[in-house]
Amino acid sequence: MSDWRKSPVVAVAAMSLFLVLQLAIPISRLEDETQAQRFAWQMFSRFHPEVEFTVNTEADSYFVDLDQVMARQRADLSLGNSIPAHLCDLDANAVSIVWESESYQC
Amino acid sequence: MLTWLTAEIQPAPLGISRTFVGAAAVLRALIALPVVVKLSDPSIVRLPYADWLPHPTKVLVLTLIASWIIFGLAFTLGWRVSITGPLLVGSIGMTLALDQQTYSNHLYLMAWLVLLMTLADAGASRAIGGSNRRVVRWPVLLILGQVSIVYGFSALTKLNQGFLSGSVLASALRGGLVPFPDFLRTPEFLWIIAAGAVLTELFVAIFLWSPSLRRMAFVMGAGFHLLTILFMAPTLELLVFSIEMLALYPLFRGATLEFGDLPSLDHKTSLVGGTTSKSTD
């Protein structure tokens, strides 16, 4: 038995730190009801409509199968910040990317 | 109170819990493997938490998963838990830090559990070379606190219109081992399931601490996890989550606040021994 675990000071400090971390983070993330949040134990708690990305080229347009460009789809990811630029990189003919009511010029 | 927190308790339940959590960690590594390997493909988008984090090359991710499995096996067997525990936390933590796409709540939970079990000296029993030494109560209480926090916040975050209306469950109750019957897929029945899920999680979060209602909480929690495994997807990940949580239930019996065990301020010294012997079932 290590002596440090029997120290009341260590016990109080560790328990306080644990509770602060484990309560403060999830509580701070309760407010946003639009999207599931990480590190907050929000399992299957929010409705997450699938986002469809369309790549427009000079000649035509096509829907993107997100499983082909993502390692894993998750409700807590904000795809609009990174997927459009990545799709432009993947297709040299892409002119713009459209999703929901937004668009991104390549 | 401090005497009670730092009192020694029987190590066997913690050793058993460690075995199951370690096994779940090894299984989870196999689930993570295809995801992290896919991350090393240039056609896959990268969602790093910070630009300075290392790029997930194939060599890096395979090394990471191999380390995770090796440390997970050692942790399961209880071999040098004070070393293999932090190394396992490091492997899981690095995987979580690689990219936002590797996150999952039960993986994040696993990192916490392994850390707390290491803190609790979970290699004290049921371990290779273990001496079956007693463990201190407060780190075990942190593990129990973690259980209630997970169930509690999971319930609280479900208190929204989308979940309580049943629309979240309508899409979640697909792809499980057993197809959810279509004739039950009505708004009224989905509302009942949604409300039941919230109440069950709250009940388990609170009453695993209660000696008189613990058995009921145990049964409700086990039933809840069984239903999620049967009717929801991804099955393997839900299985890992269920193992993680159910493995911790027995710890409540030996380490929780049995109010009669609390040493009074007047008789602190004389009751310390009694505290230890009473609560170590």
* B117 has a chain A CB within 8 A of its CB: no
Q: What's the sign of the alpha-carbon dihedral B133, B138, B143, B147?
A: positive
* B35 has a chain A CB within 8 A of its CB: yes
Task: Quote the CA–CA distance of B92 and A54 in Å, as a whole number.
Answer: 35
- Token pair recorded at residue B158: 């479900």
Point out the residue among B35, B134, B136 whose CB comes nearest to the CB of A71: B35
Cα dihedral: A44, A50, A53, A54 (round 10): 170
Radius of gyration of chain A from its Cα atoms, rounded to whole angstroms: 22
* B80 has a chain A CB within 8 A of its CB: no
Point out the residue among A5, A8, A47 whose CB comes nearest to the CB of B167: A47
B257: confidence class by pLDDT, cuts 50, 70, 90: low
**Average predicted confidence (pLDDT) for chain B:** 90
* B45 has a chain A CB within 8 A of its CB: yes
- What pTM does this model have? 0.90
The residues facing A99 across adjacent strands are A53, A102
The DSSP annotation for B188-206 comes to HHHHHHHHHHHHHHHHHHH
Q: B95-147 pLDDT, tens per residue?
A: 999 999 999 999 999 999 999 999 999 999 988 876 789 999 999 999 999 99
- Token pair recorded at residue B9: 């308790």
Residue A3: predicted pLDDT: 79
Point out the residue among B39, B133, B142 whose CB comes nearest to the CB of A71: B39
Contact B231, B193 (CB under 8 A): no
Point out the residue among A11, A23, A70 whose CB comes nearest to the CB of B44: A70
Q: A55-98 pLDDT, tens per residue?
A: 999 999 999 999 999 999 998 998 998 999 999 999 999 999 99
Neighbouring residues of B99: CB distance < 8 A, sequence distance ≥ 6: A71, B39, B46, B47, B48, B49, B56
The least confident of B50-54, B59-63, B213-217, B257-261 is B257-261
Helix, strand, or coil (residue A62)? strand
Please enumerate residues of A whose Cβ is less than 8 A from a Cβ of B.
Answer: 1-2, 5-8, 11-12, 14-15, 18-19, 22-23, 26, 30, 33, 38-48, 68-72, 74, 76-77, 82-83, 86, 90
A with B: how many residue pairs have Cβ under 8 Å apart?
A: 126
CB–CB contact B6 A30 (8 Å):
no
A54: confidence class by pLDDT, cuts 50, 70, 90: very high
CB–CB contact A38 B145 (8 Å):
no
Phi, psi values for residue B256, rounded to 5°: -80, 175
Q: Which single residue is written with the structure tokens 């991350």?
A: B39
Task: Quote the CA–CA distance of B10 and B15 in Å, as a whole number.
Answer: 10
Which residue type does B272 have?
A: V
Strands A61-63 and A102-105: unpaired
Nearest residue in chain A measured CA to CA from B132: A1
